[in-house]
Chain A
Amino acid sequence: MATFLEKLGNIDRRIIFIMMALAVIIPLSIRMSLPIPIGEGPSKDMYDAVEALPSGSRVLLSFDYDPSTMPELQPMAIALVQHLMTKDIKIVSMALWPMGVSLGNEALIAVSDSLGREEYVDWVNLGYKTGGGVLIVRLGSDIKSVFPVDYDGNPVDDMPVMDGVNKLGDFEMIISLSAGDPGVPAWVMMAGDRYNIPIGGGCTAVSAPQFYPYLSTGQMIGLLGGLKGAADYETMVRIGVENAPAGTATPGMAAQSVAHLVIMIFIILGNISYLAGKKKKGRVK
């Protein structure tokens, strides 16, 4: 007859699902808040690199993701746009993923309206073009032939924000918020290495480990990994800013903390059951 410990290893998965749902819903419902400690790391490096850019610099921001990864990447987009616009840095945005254009536009319009920035003067969204890595190489020699008009169909030649911007080398920095391919690796290989432009990035937590080699070689100046990266950046952007709007990543970290603990508890329970079963088998032999 199975003991309690052995039965523990066969918990109905619906119980696990319910526990996970509660682990996320309760912290968000009660607005549980945990302090976000900011230490040295890729998020801080990213913030410092943007902070070091002089006012009036130009940054290419590429929204290379879609709605499925939006919960992790959209808070990064908002915090980054907020930081760039606060520092009066001109933003030229585009997307290697078709649905990234609309998501990027949402972030740009929301922050631009709140800070009183002007489209075509302080920022522009060029839209989406297919081609991935090949598109980046083409942008390296001539941006305006690839994007003669912006997302709304207006000629880019007439836009003040595009003055002096003809190729990738005219940007002080490129930042890609990426959920896969094409994304950060394409920008590092085709733009960073080829035209010697600093590349920063943001990605989902699950893909962050694969970009650490680029950080160690200096091919990337910083990286925002998952919701933690977004929360780190939100926290850093809000330091010293009065009445700064709250982002969505920071409250999400409390829910993620509890969810991680729940997963760990289930793993421990599973292992207790496994070891109890193993011990019993040993006795029988």
Chain B
Amino acid sequence: MRLVIPLMITFVAGMIMILQFFVPATQSMGESLQEWYMIVASAAIFLGAVNLIQVHTHKIRFKLKNWKYSPVTIIGFSVMILTGLFLGIEPGRPFDYMFSQMMVPMGATMFSLLAFFVASAAFRAFRASNWRATLLLVSAFVVMLGRVPIGTMIWDRIPLISEWIMQVPNLAGQRAVMIGAAMGMVATSLRMIFGIERSYLGGAD
């Protein structure tokens, strides 16, 4: 039964979501399922929060690897939740202050660090070892120059060549990837609906 009930739920929900496009009578059922999805997804956020606390409490209790960061996570999480719940989230409140003065700069800093690692990685790995790598290297140079004003100052056709690379070779590659991924998604969805693919059940058999 542990297997049959989830498989039946998946089959019925999946079929309703497909049929609603073709059978008008199933449209309202499809809309109800969409409502349920949003409620379940909201509940998942709560579960995620509980899980976060459990994982980090466990790490602190047993002094697992890097446990010293866990109190920071729990304190940060608790302070944000409590200030948001009890003092409000409107502009000017402590929650908003912590968001704009702490979270925003820290988030931007983390993303900005990529520039340093990209520079270092490009220096060590971007080698013209064969004609294909050389082609990639030249394309990268053209696109990098085409995306900044200095490229136009060097030669005013660089942005045009850069845009051509984006609109022709890049587009062909991207479209192939998208169509391939979409076909894969359809196939996987059908396998799940018909109970062939069961890995999402967490290994139950």
Contacts and interface: CB of A to CB of B under 8 A. Distances in A.
A binds B: yes
24 contacts: A16-B120, A20-B119, A36-B149, A39-B160, A67-B104, A68-B107, A68-B111, A70-B104, A71-B108, A130-B44, A130-B45, A134-B41, A212-B170, A212-B174, A216-B167, A228-B147, A256-B148, A258-B150, A259-B119, A263-B123, A264-B141, A266-B122, A267-B122, A274-B129
A217 to B, nearest CB: 9
B166 interface: yes
B174 A213 contact: yes
Contact of A213 (B91, B105, B178): B178
Given A134-B37, A266-B119, A37 B170 contact: no
Given A209-B166, A270-B127, 5 more contacts: A17-B119, A68-B111, A212-B171, A253-B149, A275-B128
A271 B171 contact: no
Nearest to A206: B114
Interface in B155-182: 156, 159-160, 163, 166-167, 170-171, 174-175, 178
A208 B159 CA distance: 15
Contacts of A16: 116, 119-120, 123
Contacts of A269: 123
Interface string B82-108: 000000011100001001100111111
B127 to A, nearest CB: 5
Given A70-B107, A102-B100, A260 B37 contact: no
Nearest first, the 9 closest Cβ-Cβ pairs linking A and B are A67-B107, A257-B150, A34-B149, A257-B148, A68-B111, A68-B107, A266-B123, A67-B104, A131-B38
B15 to A, nearest CB: 17
A270 to B, nearest CB: 5
B123 A259 contact: no
A166 interface: no
A37 B149 contact: yes
B123 A11 contact: yes
Interface of A: 11, 13, 16-17, 19-21, 24, 34-37, 39, 41, 66-71, 99, 102-103, 105-106, 109, 129-131, 134-135, 137-138, 141, 146, 152, 205, 208-210, 212-213, 216, 226, 228, 253-254, 256-264, 266-267, 269-271, 274-275
Contacts of B119: 16-17, 19-20, 259, 262-263, 266
B23 interface: no
A259 B119 CA distance: 9
Interface in B59-94: 89-91
B108 A67 contact: yes
Q: Which interface class (under 10, 10 to 19, 20 to 34, 35 or more) fits B?
A: 35 or more
Contacts of B199: none
Contacts of B141: 264, 267
A131 B41 contact: yes
Given A20-B116, A105-B91, A138-B34, A270 B123 contact: yes
Contacts of A130: 38, 41-42, 44-45
A216 B171 contact: yes
Contacts of B107: 66-68, 70
B145 interface: yes
Nearest to B145: A260
A24 B44 CA distance: 41
Contact of A257 (B99, B126, B149, B160): B149
A269 B123 CA distance: 8
B123 A267 contact: yes
A239 B71 CA distance: 51
Contacts of A35: 149
B144 interface: yes
Given A131-B38, A213-B171, A260 B103 contact: no
Interface centre among B96, B110, B147, B151 (most CB of A within 10 A): B147
Nearest to A258: B150
Contacts of A254: 149
Contacts of B148: 228, 253, 256-257, 260
B144 A263 contact: yes
B47 interface: no
Contacts of A228: 147-148
